[in-house]
Copies of this chain bind each other. A is one copy, B any other.
Amino acid sequence: MKKLIFAICFLLTTTIFSQDSDEVQIKSIYDTALSNGKAYDWLNHISNQIGGRLSGSIQAQQAVDYTKKELEGLGLDKVWLQPVMVPKWTRGAPEFAYFESKPGVTTNIPICALGGSVRTPLGGLKANVVEVKSIDDLAILGKQRLEGRIVFFNRPMEATNINTFSSYSGCVDQRYAGAKEAAKYGAVGVIVRSMNLRLDDLPHTGAMSYGDTPVNERIPAAAISTNGADLLSVSLTLNPDINFYFKQSCQQYDDVQSYNVIGEITGSKYPNEIMVVGGHLDSWDLGDGSHDDGAGSVQSMDVLRLLKETGYKPKRTIRVVLFMNEENGLRGGSKYAEIAKNKKENHVFALESDSGGFSPRGFSFDCTEENFNKVQEWKPLFEPYLIHMFVKGFAGADIGPLKDSQMVLAGLRPDSQRYFDHHHAANDTFEHVNKRELELGAATMASLVYLFDKYGVIKTTKIIKG
């Protein structure tokens, strides 16, 4: 009996001590991030000294060089570049568009080419415009109504979703597949209402795909601003016979050489168990990509620095990966997973930050029930930092290819209300990132990495087999 009581006491003491030490370590991480963070300075450089970092651009290469150098300065155990071939698409001259309600009566509309689109003819493209609300509408209208026309996809993002990413998911098919689908009915071009919950004058670019559409059947695709979309839509109710004109000179080149930027702290006890934390270094070209995803990149870099600064020595290998080409190809994420597989590396955990540098609210997890339950037990550790959202769901695009049944994939979930005001648009710029919010995100990520490093990832099959 005495032995049992002793055992219980020992267990309690260990647990309490352990929870205590976790509280201390996590407070140290947050304090360091808020009083001595590096993320904001790095972002300042990436955003203001380099700027938009579209894959294959000079700026993307500058960002590779800069972040490699900065990681080297942190005294990590290893820093290297991982070569990856990436698509190169350029926007060319600023796009231009108007609609013509009567011959000669024109109204300019803010427009930008979608990433991956073909150019218009040299003199631009002018055709009758037809508004639809969905890809399904195309079949209803049919070839007769669409042939020779420009299709205007105008289904807005749903305002009532609290998670704005749900509203994005509910609309983005128009942007991604609109041109491919409209071409089947003989449409000559596609314009899409920007994926933006605000009414403003900024067009938002983003990836589109022609799928297996033969090259000579590909039609140009562009986004127009939400105000422009509303104006065009109202004008079409007054006069259904409106011509739309747009001109863009974007171009797809051969793939070019680029790199994932990687740094690691080698694990002291389980060096072969790898934990990844990352964001993507490339961005669209209209803004400087501060929220998407300069923020996630510098937060990921700061995770390793915060662990070092607070004197924590990881048992497992903690690796920061700045992925290249998330926006228009996901080549970096795919390459990283491919090489990890070829080398038979044992990745146990991956955390991505690619939802903006706003106030962190929690994480979404793509993992087994056991690991998800484990995370729930850590909730009280995060409460003092107002981190309250621990949900199941999509973790991140770049870490997705790593997925296996054993790994824990996690995605930082910041407050999402402002994200689509800036996403892929000219106002995704440094001044819209708040220093403290960015730092709180980095600290929240570092705290999760710390906990998974310290307590490990539960391997389900082993437990079942054992």
The interface residues of chain B lying within 8 Å CB-to-CB of A35 are 159-160
| Cα distance, A436 to B34, chains bound together (Å) | 27
Complex CA–CA separation, A434 to B415 (angstroms): 12
> Of B159, B164, B388, B434, which is within 8 A of A418 by CB?
B434
Query: Is the beta-carbon distance between A388 and B388 smaller than 8 angstroms?
Result: yes
Does A160 contact B417, Cβ atoms closer than 8 Å?
A: no
A31 touches B160 (CB 8 A): yes
Complex-state Cα separation, A97 to B162, whole angstroms = 47
Interchain CB contact (< 8 A) of A417 among B30, B421, B437? B437
Considering only residues 145-166 of chain A, those with a C-beta below 8 Å from chain B are 159-160, 162, 164
Nearest B residue to A418, CB-CB: B434
Say yes or no for A389: interface residue by CB 8 A criterion: yes
Chain B residues contacting A417 (CB-CB under 8 Å) are: 359, 434, 436-437, 440
Q: Write out the residue numbers on chain B whose beta carbons fall within 8 Å of the beta carbon of A415.
A: 359, 415
Copies of this chain assembled into the complex: 2
Complex interface residues of chain A between 433 and 449 (CB less than 8 A to chain B): 434-437, 440
A197 on interface, CB distance cutoff 8 Å: yes
Name the residue of chain B whose CB is nearest to the CB of A437: B417
**Contact mask for chain A residues 14-37; partner B; CB cutoff 8 A; 1 contact, 0 none:** 000000000000000011001100
A175 interfacial contact with B, CB 8 Å: no
Contacts of A389 in B (CB 8 A): 386, 388
Instruction: Answer whether A34 and B418 are a contact pair too, CB < 8 Å, given A198-B435, A359-B359.
Output: no
Cβ contacts under 8 Å, A421 to chain B: 434
Q: Which residues of B are found within 8 Å of A164, using beta-carbon distances?
A: 436
Q: How far is the CB of A83 from chain B (nearest CB, A)?
A: 39
Chain A positions 352-386 with a Cβ under 8 Å from a chain B Cβ: 359, 361, 384-386
Contact assessment for A34 and B359 in the assembled complex, using a CB-CB cutoff below 8 Å:
no
Q: Enumerate chain B residues within 8 angstroms of A159, measured Cβ to Cβ.
A: 34-35, 436
Question: Which residue in chain B gives the minimum CB-CB distance to A435?
Answer: B198
Bound form: Cα–Cα A26–B434 in Å: 31
A interface residues with partner B (beta carbon < 8 Å): 30-31, 34-35, 159-160, 162, 164, 197-198, 359, 361, 384-386, 388-389, 415, 417-418, 421, 434-437, 440
Q: List 19 A-B contacts (CB under 8 A).
A: A30-B160, A30-B162, A31-B160, A34-B160, A35-B159, A162-B385, A162-B386, A162-B440, A164-B436, A197-B436, A198-B435, A359-B359, A388-B389, A415-B415, A417-B434, A417-B436, A418-B434, A418-B436, A421-B434
Q: Can you list the 8 inter-chain pairs with the closest CB atoms, starting with the nearest?
A: A388-B388, A31-B160, A417-B436, A35-B159, A34-B159, A359-B415, A417-B437, A34-B160
